[in-house]
Amino acid sequence: MQIIQPLSLSLEQYIEHGYHRRIRPPDNCPYCLHPHSLKALGYYDRFITALLAQVLSIWVRRSLCRHCRHTVSCLPEFAQPYRLVNTPTVQAAFQGENHRPEVQRWKSQTDSYWRRFQKHLPDLLQRIGYALGRYPQEPSPPSIWNLLLKACGSLATATRQLVDQFRTCLFGTYRCHQPQAYQAH
C-alpha cells in the first residue's frame, strides 16, 4: 500500500538531508489496523523532476507489518503517484502558469496528466461524491480542479486526502492505494 507523507521540505532538501531515513511508518498498519506493528523494511528508488530540466532519483521508505506481513510505502507529498513530474509543477501547469520555465519544460507530460485527469474524472466524482463541496450539474475538469484547490489548498494536500480517504488520486485508482482484505496467515 502507498500513503502520501506530508512534508515541509522541498525535493532538494529531502535529498540533501537524507530525509528518507527519517520517515517513520504510520502508527497503525493500514491493512490490519494493528497498532505499532510496522517496522522499517527498506527503500525503493524512483525518479522525479526538479526545477527546470533535472530528473533526480529519490528514496521512498517502505515498511513491513509484523502482524499481517503487508508492506506500506510512504511517498513524499512533492511526488505524485506513478508520475515523473513533481507536484508543484503539475499544480502550476494545471493552473495555467505557462510562463514558468519548469511548466514549459514538462508541458507534454503535464498535458498528458491533464488528459488522464479528464478520463478519470467520472470515477473520481463517483468515489468522492460531494465530500469536497457541491459541483456543477455538468462538471468539467476545470471546475472540479478549482473545487479541489478551493477545498484542499494545494495539489499535495488534495492528493493526500484523495489517497487517504477515497483510495484514489487525480489520475487513477491504483492497486497500491487499495487495502486488500486482511487475511490472517
Same domain, 51 and 120: no
The residues near 154 (Cβ < 8 Å, ≥ 6 apart) are: 87, 91
Total number of domains constituting the chain: 2
Is the domain of 97 the same as that of 70?
no
Per-residue pLDDT at 42 exceeds 70: yes
Question: Which of 35, 53, 79 is the last residue before a domain boundary?
Answer: 79
pLDDT for the residue 180: 65
Query: 125 and 137, same structural domain?
Result: yes
What is the average per-residue pLDDT within 15-29?
A: 93
173, pLDDT greater than 70: yes
120 assigned to some structural domain: yes
pLDDT at 175: 84
- Whether the per-residue pLDDT at 179 is higher than 80: the answer is no
- What does pLDDT average to over the chain? 92
Does residue 180 lie in a domain region?
no
Does 88 share its domain with 167? yes
Average pLDDT of the residues in 75-97 = 97
C-alpha span between 5 and 8 (Å, rounded) = 10
Question: pLDDT at position 177, please?
Answer: 83
Q: Is position 3 within any domain? A: yes
Is 183 within the bounds of a domain? no
Domain endpoint, select from 79, 111, 131:
79
Strand pairing category for 38-49 and 71-76:
unpaired
Question: Within this chain, do residues 10 and 25 fall inside the same structural domain, yes or no?
Answer: yes
Residue 31 contacts residue 23 (beta carbons within 8 Å): no
Do 18 and 89 fall into the same domain? no
Asked if residue 34 and residue 94 are part of one domain, the reply reads: no
CB atoms within 10 A of CB 40: 13
Q: Domain range spanning residue 143? A: 83-174
Residue 146 shares a structural domain with residue 113: yes
pLDDT for position 176: 85
Does residue 16 form part of some domain? yes
Q: Is residue 31 part of a domain?
A: yes
Q: Are residues 28 and 100 in the same domain?
A: no
Of 165, 163, 158, 185, nearest in space to 176 by CA: 163
Residue 103 to residue 88: CA distance in whole angstroms:
10
69 and 92, same domain (yes or no): no
pLDDT digits (tens, 9 = 90+) for 130-158: 898 888 888 899 999 999 999 999 999 99
Question: How many Cβ atoms from other residues are within 10 Å of residue 6's Cβ?
Answer: 11
How high is the pLDDT of residue 111?
98
Report the percentage of the chain scoring pLDDT > 70. Answer: 96
Per-residue confidence at 104, pLDDT binned at 50, 70, 90? very high
Q: Which of 67-71, 117-121, 137-141 has the highest mean predicted lDDT (pLDDT)? A: 117-121
| Same domain as 95, residue 73 | no
Q: Does some domain include residue 179?
A: no
Q: Please report, for the chain, how many H helices and E strands are present, in that order.
A: 6, 4
Residue 184: pLDDT band by 50, 70, 90 thresholds?
A: very low
**What pLDDT was estimated at residue 137?**
82
Cα separation, 55 vs 125, whole angstroms: 32
Residue that finishes a domain, picked among 29, 52, 79: 79
What is the DSSP code (8-state) at residue 171?
A: T
